[in-house]
Chain A
Amino acid sequence: MTESGGFPYPGGGRFVGARVKRAEDPRLLTGEARYAADIQLPGMLAVAFVRATEAHARIESIDVTEALSLPGAVAVLTAADLDVAPVPLPFEFDGLAAPPQPALARNKVRFLGEPVAVVVAENRYQAEDIADRVRVRYDRLGVVVSPEAARAADAPLLFEDLGTNVLFERTESAGDVEGAFAEAAHVFRKTFHTNRFVACPMEGRGVVAHYEPRADHLKVWSSTQTPFLLRTTLAAVLPYPEHRLQVIVPEVGGGFGAKMSTYPEEVAVAAASLKLGRPLSWIEDRRENLLAANHAKEQQITLELALDTEGQILALRAEHVGDAGAYNFNSTSCLIEPFIGARNLPGVLRLRNYEWTVVSVATNRSPVGAFRAVGSTPGSTTRDAFLDEIARQLGIDVVKFFRKNMIRADEMPYHQATGQVYDSGDYIGSLDQAVELVDYAGFRRRQEEARSEGRYLGIGFSPFVEATGWGSEIAKSQGLPFSSHDNASVSVDPSGMVTVATSMASQGQGHETSFAQVAADVLGVDVATVRVTQGDTDVSPYGMGTFASRSAIIGGGSVLLAAEEVRKKVLAIAAKTLEASAEDLEIADGRVAVKGAPQRGLSYPEVAAIAHWDLGVRSDDDGHRLAATRFYDPPATFSNGCFVALVEVDPELGTVKLEKIVGVEDCGRVINPMIVEGQSHGAVAQAVGGALLEHMVYDENGGLITSTFMDYLLPTALDVPPIEIAHMETLAPHTAGGFKGMGEGGLMSAPGAIVCAVVDALSPFGAVLEELPLGPEQVARMAGSLATEGGHS
């Protein structure tokens, strides 16, 4: 068997690498697709949540009398009525305080918007009216809205039992950091504070739960990225036997990480259905989504860099302080930002001496969690801004500075100071290609000319390396002992058609297309004869689901391995029937035939019929059923690339006009270039939002100011510039098919590119990065057009 993948397969190879149209599109283009909000079941009731109106308070009483008298009221359930266990951590983690997050607040609320009670009513309008009339009396407690405040000696505590708001603190180091600093020619130090922004899929969260007491069957439809993890978690906390629990993922309107964790609301709706024995539907509104779906990306990062006289990096110190929000829920979410951020900050740099400190602090804000390029966006953005500033101070061109300090292709596989082993790729090659694509020298001339006309153009570079395909090995190398389990099944039915069932779940990434391309090529059939099913725990084999760029590698890899096994069975049956040896056969265009004698062959329907119904063949001991399920837990592999932003800034108005964003990406073997480019485009648009527009703002009482799309600004078609993506293709040496993951690089790296471009444009004003995002006010201040406010570093 070819562990590394046999592309192109003899006779196959038509679909992998081609821009195959998506199988998903016809239903999505016509309104036929069914999202969670479109599910209607007979007798279904609507759920609304009563949410905390205080950021930190003791619950004195909950009065439901008036609420229950309103039309349509069926039930109001509080923590006292729903006795479910808090969601457990997926693994033990040394030094991590993991105070439990209840499905509904018990005794105390810790952030504005925390679920306090479940209202069940005939319809959603009524449920919302009723929720408004549930009277919760709070006894206010002191509020902490920043890690700084939360670490103060007399800070109010979110979890009194812990005796501190610090959930995690650890320093690690590699090499001789102190020695390197001692002999440095230059030392630079700066603290950055990145903005809090969120995944914000256009479809919010949604859960439909239906418990049938006599069938003893609990069905949960959820807009989730991880159906099997949700099933396992629900089974543990409700508790309810896992084999009687079915999780179904309907069409999902985007996830980007925010639908990865099991949320308290998912548990509460399932528990309420168990209690009431009725189908329930909860469809989140946008305010709830901005308030209570996980936040992300905010870190305070202090960097200290030692350089020699030549501009060679000798050592780096980093301190990442994360604001965990009010809970550290089941994804060990409080580590997501600072822990992964610090591990990945060195990225493409050749770094021998590195010391990193990670601190995670609980505050009275929404819990943080996963969002595309988890943890890495803040680290990458601040690293780029820092290096850019240093290069300018030293009078070195930033591209030269990067090139001097980046890992070279001949150093692969490279052991990074953080313990990760980069498997392959030409990082400097990616940078060079980006430099060429934007005509860097030409740009500098244009910039000069524009300046003489009083116009300010800027350019920013951000080379990146992206840990992809989170299996057990990569998780371990990231310091997280999170073992994986993923499977795919491939089967050929009696009519000769192919079904692929995978443990992945799609939120718009087109798995039904990509996985069909892989199976079609391995089996030598037309892609139209392959159907991919996913997202139903009764239908698919077990697995972790879709997050951290794992679907192409693990999903694609497991489909490839299962399909290879089925291919062998097809060949064996044909060999027996045709009285030829399997080695003398080839498969092409859905036909197995003797090499050089195409008339001596069988079509897939013929092979399938024989396998199922021909007693002579079927009775063979070696199990000729044309089906296989394969497990895949891939070795670590890293994608890489480089994003470049070109901007024009108006220093007086503070407006940033993005001219274009160019990306070079190497994600190994590309299954469908159209889909891969689409993923990059989307990530870049989110980068534009994160760099220039999006920011979750709290007041000092823990009130969220940005709870609508009027205040939380998402980029529109006018904000996102033309995006150009070029591919490099360095096959992953160790994964099935040579696949690497992708989809996150744009959000890891493009924000840094944009930020550096703005700073570059304003370099005549001596601008440096102070505050994110770069809204008009911040930009004007950087240009000196607005007086600098006191109070920020």
Chain B
Amino acid sequence: MTPPEERIVRIEVNGRPTSALVEPRTLLCDYIRNHVGLTGTNVGCEHGVCGACTVRIDGDIARSCITFAAQVDGGKVETVESIAPSTDELHPIQRAFEAEHGLQCGFCTPGFLITTQALLERNPDPSETEIREFLSGNICRCTGYVGIVNAVKRAARDLRDRGT
């Protein structure tokens, strides 16, 4: 078997240009984790169901475990590492998850944070049903979603109060 031909992929990750020589089959999650070195994006199923690997591609939420890095060549990706404004400050969404105990083991959390960010940009005042529906593509095995749903509500409130 001849090894598949490698090619250069260029992706802007969290506002920084990155590039690597990769096999065409390289998944976006592996590109981010292994080539860029950002390991906050977790991989829970590798078949597109659990949502742990959720990132934003050109602003839209997507599963990095069923996207090839090459498909995003020239595009922009944002990961959980982009959310906090600085090393010693958390984003209101992160603070809300902390205050409402929206995480236990933390493995699903990056996916939930990214998804919540997208939801609240689109809909700053979601109802409980809207929240549950929007998050239903992300699985958490620890929290029973109680803390997560409360965290999204709190984050929505805080962001509205801040007027952002």
Interface presence of A35 (CB below 8 A): yes
**What's the Cα separation between A256 and B144 when bound, in Å?**
14
* Contact of A286 with B45 in the complex, beta carbons under 8 Å: yes
**What's the Cα separation between A678 and B135 when bound, in Å?**
18
* Contact of A29 with B145 in the complex, beta carbons under 8 Å: no
Q: Which of A146-154, A185-193, A240-248, A504-512 contacts B (4 or more CB under 8 A)?
A: A504-512
**What's the Cα separation between A722 and B146 when bound, in Å?**
7
Q: Report A517-547 residues with CB < 8 Å from chain B CB.
A: none
Smallest Cβ distance from B16 to chain A, in angstroms? Answer: 15
- Look across to chain A and name the residue whose beta carbon is closest to the beta carbon of B91: A29
Interface presence of A704 (CB below 8 A): no
Contact pattern, B 116-147, Cβ under 8 Å of A = 1, otherwise 0 = 00000000000000011101111111111111
Given A685-B145, A708-B47, CB of A22 within 8 Å of CB of B41:
no
Interface presence of A38 (CB below 8 A): yes
For B107, list chain A residues within 8 Å (CB): 35, 201-203, 253-254
**What's the Cα separation between A686 and B144 when bound, in Å?**
8
**What's the Cα separation between A508 and B104 when bound, in Å?**
4
Q: Report A7-50 residues with CB < 8 Å from chain B CB.
A: 21-22, 24-35, 37-38
Interface presence of A717 (CB below 8 A): yes
* Contact of A709 with B49 in the complex, beta carbons under 8 Å: yes
**What's the Cα separation between A684 and B147 when bound, in Å?**
13
* Contact of A682 with B136 in the complex, beta carbons under 8 Å: no
**What's the Cα separation between A285 and B30 when bound, in Å?**
14
Contact pattern, A 153-174, Cβ under 8 Å of B = 1, otherwise 0 = 0000000000000000000000
* Contact of A720 with B142 in the complex, beta carbons under 8 Å: no
**What's the Cα separation between A719 and B15 when bound, in Å?**
37
**What's the Cα separation between A240 and B113 when bound, in Å?**
43
Dominant secondary structure at the A interface: loop
Interface presence of A220 (CB below 8 A): no
Interface presence of B40 (CB below 8 A): yes
* Contact of A286 with B44 in the complex, beta carbons under 8 Å: yes
* Contact of B49 with A685 in the complex, beta carbons under 8 Å: no
**What's the Cα separation between A141 and B65 when bound, in Å?**
38
Smallest Cβ distance from B53 to chain A, in angstroms? Answer: 11
A-B contact count (CB 8 A): 175
Interface presence of B13 (CB below 8 A): no
For B79, list chain A residues within 8 Å (CB): 31
Interface presence of A726 (CB below 8 A): no
For A681, list chain B residues within 8 Å (CB): 143-147
Q: How large is the interface on B (under 10, 10 to 19, 20 to 34, 35 or more residues)?
A: 35 or more
Given A25-B103, A29-B103, A718-B133, CB of A254 within 8 Å of CB of B142:
yes
**What's the Cα separation between A25 and B91 when bound, in Å?**
13
Q: Report B85-106 residues with CB < 8 Å from chain A CB.
A: 90, 94, 97-99, 101, 103-106
* Contact of B44 with A202 in the complex, beta carbons under 8 Å: yes
Smallest Cβ distance from B146 to chain A, in angstroms? Answer: 4
Interface presence of B54 (CB below 8 A): no
**What's the Cα separation between A532 and B77 when bound, in Å?**
36
Given A253-B42, A708-B49, CB of A677 within 8 Å of CB of B101:
yes
* Contact of B90 with A26 in the complex, beta carbons under 8 Å: yes
* Contact of B25 with A202 in the complex, beta carbons under 8 Å: no
* Contact of B50 with A709 in the complex, beta carbons under 8 Å: yes
- Look across to chain B and name the residue whose beta carbon is closest to the beta carbon of A286: B45
For A452, list chain B residues within 8 Å (CB): none
* Contact of A682 with B47 in the complex, beta carbons under 8 Å: no
* Contact of A31 with B41 in the complex, beta carbons under 8 Å: yes
* Contact of B3 with A709 in the complex, beta carbons under 8 Å: no
Interface presence of B148 (CB below 8 A): yes
**What's the Cα separation between A682 and B138 when bound, in Å?**
15
For A674, list chain B residues within 8 Å (CB): 101
Contact pattern, A 332-361, Cβ under 8 Å of B = 1, otherwise 0 = 000000000000000000000000000000
Interface presence of B23 (CB below 8 A): yes
For B46, list chain A residues within 8 Å (CB): 285-286
Dominant secondary structure at the B interface: loop
* Contact of B105 with A678 in the complex, beta carbons under 8 Å: no
**What's the Cα separation between A709 and B138 when bound, in Å?**
12
Given A678-B143, A723-B146, CB of A29 within 8 Å of CB of B39:
no
* Contact of A30 with B105 in the complex, beta carbons under 8 Å: no
* Contact of B141 with A682 in the complex, beta carbons under 8 Å: yes
| A-side interface residues, number (CB < 8 Å) | 58
Contact pattern, A 684-698, Cβ under 8 Å of B = 1, otherwise 0 = 111000000000000
Question: Of B1, B106, B143, B145, which contacts A253 at CB under 8 A?
Answer: B106
Q: Report A641-698 residues with CB < 8 Å from chain B CB.
A: 674-675, 677-678, 680-686
* Contact of A675 with B47 in the complex, beta carbons under 8 Å: no
**What's the Cα separation between A381 and B4 when bound, in Å?**
53
Smallest Cβ distance from B5 to chain A, in angstroms? Answer: 13
* Contact of B104 with A509 in the complex, beta carbons under 8 Å: yes
For B57, list chain A residues within 8 Å (CB): none
**What's the Cα separation between A251 and B109 when bound, in Å?**
13
Interface presence of A714 (CB below 8 A): yes
Q: Report A463-521 residues with CB < 8 Å from chain B CB.
A: 507-510
Interface presence of B62 (CB below 8 A): no
Smallest Cβ distance from B65 to chain A, in angstroms? Answer: 10
Interface presence of A765 (CB below 8 A): no
Smallest Cβ distance from B94 to chain A, in angstroms? Answer: 4
Interface presence of A440 (CB below 8 A): no
Given A28-B103, A28-B109, CB of A22 within 8 Å of CB of B144:
no
Interface presence of B156 (CB below 8 A): no
- Look across to chain A and name the residue whose beta carbon is closest to the beta carbon of B99: A21
Given A29-B90, A685-B145, A722-B146, CB of A507 within 8 Å of CB of B105:
yes
For A182, list chain B residues within 8 Å (CB): none
For A33, list chain B residues within 8 Å (CB): 40, 106
- Look across to chain B and name the residue whose beta carbon is closest to the beta carbon of A28: B106
For A682, list chain B residues within 8 Å (CB): 104, 141-144
* Contact of B45 with A709 in the complex, beta carbons under 8 Å: yes
* Contact of A30 with B44 in the complex, beta carbons under 8 Å: no
Smallest Cβ distance from B110 to chain A, in angstroms? Answer: 6
Q: Report A71-93 residues with CB < 8 Å from chain B CB.
A: 71
Q: A203-B42, A254-B104 are in contact. List 14 more A-B contacts (CB 8 A).
A: A25-B97, A31-B79, A37-B39, A37-B43, A38-B33, A38-B39, A129-B1, A253-B107, A678-B101, A681-B143, A681-B146, A686-B141, A709-B49, A709-B50
- Identify the 9 closest CB pairs spanning chains A and B, nearest first: A31-B40, A253-B107, A508-B105, A28-B106, A681-B144, A508-B104, A685-B144, A709-B49, A38-B39
Chain B residues in contact with chain A, CB under 8 A? 1, 3, 23, 25-26, 33, 38-47, 49-50, 52, 79-81, 83-84, 90, 94, 97-99, 101, 103-110, 113, 131-133, 135-149
20 cross-chain CB contacts under 8 A: A22-B98, A22-B101, A27-B106, A29-B90, A29-B109, A31-B40, A37-B39, A201-B105, A203-B107, A254-B104, A285-B46, A508-B105, A677-B146, A678-B143, A681-B146, A685-B144, A686-B141, A708-B49, A709-B139, A717-B136
